[in-house]
Structure formats: structure tokens, C-alpha cells
Chain A
């Protein structure tokens, strides 16, 4: 397919680096966390150099993720507030899933699905950080009771599974909707992609609202 317009800039270099630091930390956290969550996945600890190192390094990667995600949050939260078009979009989720999104309202930089991914991960990472500190015995064992640690273990595992599920949706959406991934690799999308998926944002970008 030929592109008829200049590439439309979607993410700055800094935003892309910020995103990929978050992405790599999240994947490492999922691998090390799953290793300690389910015995059948304990072999994943070998990726990190054994059980002791996996246990020791997991919370530090968590700190990197929390700081990195905070950067993403500050960059993007203002673009992720819910509006009436998002409700319409969600009501027509079936059409979206069937690749028939033509009749839906024009969207700004993010659609409702992306917004839900954003807020879902924001809430879950906040809870994971809080419960993670309670479980980080090396430094914080004496600050909480055993009952609080038990509750945190359950909350941490639940939120982690939630975050992994959202991550799967996020990654699949990038595979499914062609032309999306280059926004996070090269920083730009084609005009056709912007027009098709985020027309309101595209209008703003080309200065023709």
C-alpha cells in the first residue's frame, strides 16, 4: 500500500524509551513472579540465575517499573479521561472486534479500549507496588503483621494476573491492528492509520479540526 501523506508523529523518542523500559521490566517481573507463583513454572528462576537471585531481584525490577510507569502515567493520563464517545465505542465493542469500526464516532489519541488498558494498569501497578513492599521481607519484614503479609500475597498475585491479562490484550491489539507497532518503534504512524483509527486526533495533528 502506498502512503499518501507524511508519517504522523505519535510518540516522542523519550516516550518510546520510557515505554520500552516499562515493557521490559513488566516482562521480567511477570517471568520472575510466575516462577515463584506456580511450582510448574519454577524453572523460570533459571533465567535469572536461580531461586535466591530471582527472589532478590524481583522487587528491584518492581521499583524500576513503578518509576518508569509513573513517567508514562504523567505523560498520558490527561489523554485518557473518559468521554461520551468512549461509552458509544464500548457499546459497539462487538463491531470493533469484527473489524467493522467504520460507523463509530471519531476518536482522539486513544480509544476506550486503550483507556481501559491505561487505567487498569495504573490501578494494578499501584496495588502491586503497595502489596509488594509488604512482601519485601529483606527490608520491610518488621513493618507489617503476618496477617497483613498474607493478605498482600493474595492481592499481589491477583493484581499480577490482572496485569498480565491486560498486557496480553495490549500486545494482541498491537499485533491485530496493523500499523500500530511502528508508533512505538519509529514513533510515527501512516496518515491512513491515523485517519482510520484516531481521526479526531489526526485532524488536530494536521491542523484541520
Chain B
């Protein structure tokens, strides 16, 4: 992706300058709502994603499950993850569409060292700007959901763009458009939360007492949300994090360490300069040379000096 002209930036990786304000009002926050209870696992969304984004997923290997491919790749920005959940005599097939969650507080952007390689638009979409990406993999360390993938051929990071190029012209993401059961909704974040509320009421009336919305506050909410039948146990859904947050290690690395390190280096340099200015150099004196000659004995000066 490249930066979209029609959308302003809210955040820009590795940039201390605020993004330029154009004067127009900030875009309305958008969100994709994935209703796991309505998903039939057909993978139309995966096909639509590959098609719209002109991606080529090479034929791989099966691991015996329906997951295909078995993991997110640089070409497969979304993957259906199938989980067989057995409880009592019951078996539930939980099918979760995995992909970038478009965190409101994106760990990838926080970790990124390349200015402008990751941006967050005012509508909440987090996008990788390939032109600026240096392929370091820091986004992988910053992400609480294990989403970005680094290409071995292009050395760039890739992930779901939430079809930012479609959204900016008023279209829904390709996956939402393709879904035959309308398990994927797209709209303003407020509308999606309201719609999720209705779905949750419906699910509860059908016996899913713990149905709920997955919009984790540990990352200040996400712009991709799930309706889960078992919202009390998100990890049932192929390891969806129960309480995702940016790792404290990333927080230290990208937070206090940066100014403290530069301050320590500057202090060391300043200390050296001040020491030289106040104490002066440590010089060998004539006396030292004489004592050396005395000790060396026969090795007197002038004997065979080069």
C-alpha cells in the first residue's frame, strides 16, 4: 500500500512530528465486525482478499485440519482458523477469521523504526507503507496478535489493509463484500458496536449465555471486532488472546529506553569534555623520561634511535 491522499494520518511510525492537519474534520472511525456465530468457514473472504489485493498464495501443504493455508503468510492476509470445541456431549465448530485487528493503539506502529512505514489513518485503519518498510521485523515484536509477516523475497512486512483503498472511496472491504452469510459487517465503529449488541441478545436467547463482543481495551479497542459465542474465553478461538496488550518489553524498548540512552551517551561525552577542560591532559614529563632512562640503564637515548 501507499499512503492514501484522501485520508489524514493520526499516527505515523518513528515520527516525532505530528501528522499534517488539513483542516477538514477527522474521518469517522470505521470497524469490521466478524460474527463468528454466522461463519460457515467457506473461505470466500480469503479468495476475495487474494483477488482484490492481487496476491498469489503458493500451493502449500495441509496439516490435516481445514486451515488453509495453515498460517497467515505474506500473501494470505486472512486465514480461517477452525477449532473443535468439545464440552460435555456437545461439539462446537468455532471458525474464526484471523487477520489484522487494526488496534486503536497499534503495537506494530509503536515498534516500527522506519519513519512512515506504518501509519494509522484518522478512520482507525492501520496500514503498512511498503515504500518506507525496511523489513526489520520490529512490527512482529510489537504486535500482540502475531499478524505481520515478512517476505523473504521483498524483505517487506505485509498484513491486512482493511482494504483501505476501498474504504477511502466508500466501499466495504473485499472480504465483507464476498461473505455469503453476512458474517462480516463493515461500517462506522459505533454502528458495528450497536449491531453487535443485537447479535449478542439473539445469541443469548439461543442459550449462549456468555456471548459477547471482542473489542479488547488492552489495545484501546480494535477496528476489527468479533462477536463470540463464548466471549468469556476468547482463547478457545484458536488462541485469540484473552487480554491482548503491547508487551511491557516493547514498552520499555520503545519508551523510556530511547531518551535515557541518548541522555547517558550525551552525559558521557559531556563528562569527558568537562574533565579535559577542568583537569587537563595527563602528560608524561621530562622527569618521567629521565626516570625511564635511569631504569633502562644501557638503553640510553641516542644509542640507536630511529
Q: Which residues of A contact B (CB under 8 A)?
A: 1-7, 36-40, 42, 45, 50-52, 54-56, 97-99, 101, 135, 137-138, 141, 146-147, 149-151, 153-154, 157-158, 161, 164-165, 168-169, 172, 175-179, 190-196, 202-203, 206, 208
Interface string of B262-306 (1 = CB under 8 A from A): 101100110010011001111111101111110111011101111
**Contacts A38-B258, A54-B134, A165-B264; is A99 near B140 (CB within 8 Å)?**
no
Given B115, B303, B306, which contacts A42 in the complex, CB threshold below 8 Å?
B115
A189 to B299, CA, bound (A): 15
Q: Which residues of B contact A191 (CB under 8 A)?
A: 289, 292-293, 295-296, 299
Given B264, B276, B279, which contacts A161 in the complex, CB threshold below 8 Å?
B264
30 A-B interface contacts by CB (under 8 A): A1-B284, A4-B290, A4-B292, A5-B299, A5-B301, A6-B304, A36-B113, A37-B113, A45-B134, A50-B134, A51-B114, A52-B155, A137-B135, A137-B137, A137-B140, A149-B141, A150-B253, A151-B249, A165-B268, A172-B272, A176-B275, A176-B276, A176-B281, A179-B284, A195-B288, A196-B284, A196-B288, A206-B295, A206-B297, A208-B296
Q: Which residues of A contact B146 (CB under 8 A)?
A: 146
Interface string of B80-103 (1 = CB under 8 A from A): 000000000000000000000000
Closest approach, in angstroms, between the C-beta of A184 and any C-beta of chain B?
A: 17
Contact check, A3 vs B295: say whether CB atoms are below 8 A apart: no
Q: Which residues of B contact A (CB under 8 A)?
A: 14-16, 113-115, 132, 134-138, 140-141, 146, 150, 152, 155, 247, 249-250, 252-253, 257-258, 261-262, 264-265, 268-269, 272, 275-276, 279-286, 288-293, 295-297, 299-301, 303-306
Besides the contacts A4-B292, A141-B137, A190-B289, what 13 more A-B pairs have beta carbons closer than 8 Å?
Answer: A42-B114, A98-B279, A146-B146, A147-B247, A153-B141, A154-B253, A165-B268, A168-B268, A168-B269, A190-B284, A191-B295, A195-B295, A208-B297
Given A7, A169, A177, which contacts B282 in the complex, CB threshold below 8 Å?
A177
Contact check, A5 vs B265: say whether CB atoms are below 8 A apart: no
Secondary structure at chain A's binding surface: helix, strand, loop or mixed? helix
A36 to B254, CA, bound (A): 11
Instruction: Specify the chain B residue showing the minimal Cβ separation from A45.
Output: B134
CB contacts between A and B, total, < 8 Å: 179
Instruction: Specify the chain B residue showing the minimal Cβ separation from A35.
Output: B113
A96 to B193, CA, bound (A): 69
Instruction: Specify the chain B residue showing the minimal Cβ separation from A101.
Output: B282
**Contacts A137-B150, A195-B295; is A99 near B280 (CB within 8 Å)?**
yes
Contact check, A192 vs B249: say whether CB atoms are below 8 A apart: no
**Contacts A2-B289, A36-B136, A179-B284; is A168 near B252 (CB within 8 Å)?**
no
Given B113, B252, B281, B291, which contacts A154 in the complex, CB threshold below 8 Å?
B252
Q: Which residues of B contact A7 (CB under 8 A)?
A: 306
Given B150, B262, B269, B276, which contacts A141 in the complex, CB threshold below 8 Å?
B150
Q: Which residues of A contact B291 (CB under 8 A)?
A: 192, 195
A94 to B290, CA, bound (A): 27
Contact check, A1 vs B286: say whether CB atoms are below 8 A apart: yes
Contact check, A158 vs B257: say whether CB atoms are below 8 A apart: yes
Q: Which residues of B contact A202 (CB under 8 A)?
A: 292, 295
A45 to B269, CA, bound (A): 22
Contact check, A175 vs B276: say whether CB atoms are below 8 A apart: yes
**Contacts A6-B299, A153-B253, A165-B268; is A178 near B15 (CB within 8 Å)?**
no
**Contacts A54-B134, A97-B275, A161-B261; is A5 near B284 (CB within 8 Å)?**
no
Q: Which residues of A contact B293 (CB under 8 A)?
A: 4-5, 191
Contact check, B14 vs A42: say whether CB atoms are below 8 A apart: yes
Contact check, A39 vs B14: say whether CB atoms are below 8 A apart: yes
A51 to B261, CA, bound (A): 21
A168 to B15, CA, bound (A): 28
Q: Which residues of A contact B283 (CB under 8 A)?
A: 178-179
Instruction: Specify the chain A residue showing the minimal Cβ separation from B113.
Output: A36
A191 to B303, CA, bound (A): 14
**Contacts A37-B261, A38-B262; is A5 near B289 (CB within 8 Å)?**
yes
A154 to B260, CA, bound (A): 13
Closest approach, in angstroms, between the C-beta of A188 and any C-beta of chain B?
A: 10
A208 to B250, CA, bound (A): 58
Q: Which residues of A contact B297 (CB under 8 A)?
A: 206, 208
Contact check, A165 vs B289: say whether CB atoms are below 8 A apart: no
A150 to B111, CA, bound (A): 10
Given A6, A56, A101, which contacts B303 in the complex, CB threshold below 8 Å?
A6
